[in-house]
Structure 1
């Protein structure tokens, strides 16, 4: 599988670290009951079809990416930066 990083271009998936579903970004609130944390940490869906996952470009720019892909066809539908990149003055 190949992913197109918005900053680095098309790369082999071995440059990236798969972190899981973007549900990971929706943590239980502080003080949530233990059952909510248990569900958050240990239970995952395994959907067939379109998913949105969190990936880290470990061997590249070091950015977190949200990848929309189809788990049945393996088609990558979109790759988006999770957070905007700050541009440094004087750098090209």
Structure 2
């Protein structure tokens, strides 16, 4: 489990947060009738640092941008959006 340093509330357990997506994700809206308005997310999932968007859903409710290593899960930076 991650201990995420919320800039508004201080360090909190990962359970309080909701992962939204990687900042580099490509979001495409497909207009086909079978999947109308379905969002499809794709990303390379490479090793190294990733910039992610999280929401402190069970806390202050603020959106955060986190820089995290994909292999070690070490958090380098968290900032408010």
Bucket of the pairwise TM-score, normalised by the shorter protein: 0.7 to 0.9
**Aligned-partner Cα distance in 2 for 1:57–1:81:** 10
TM-score norm. by structure 2 comes to: 0.77
TM-superposed CA distance for 1:5, in Å, is 0.3
Where in structure 1 do 4 or more consecutive aligned residues deviate above 6 Å?
none
Q: Which runs of 5+ in 1 are unaligned?
A: 29-33, 35-39, 83-92
- CA offset digits 1:19-78 (Å, max 9, x no partner): 111135x767xxxxx7xxxxx723222121100000000000000000000011110000
Q: Which runs of 5+ in 2 are unaligned?
A: 32-38
Number of aligned residue pairs: give it.
73
Aligned pairs for 1:1-92 (under 5 A) are 1-23=2-24, 41-82=40-81
* Structure with the higher helix share, 1 or 2: 1
**Aligned-partner Cα distance in 2 for 1:23–1:50:** 11
* Structure with the higher strand share, 1 or 2: 2
The answer as to whether partners of 2:27 and 2:40 remain within 8 angstroms in 1 is no
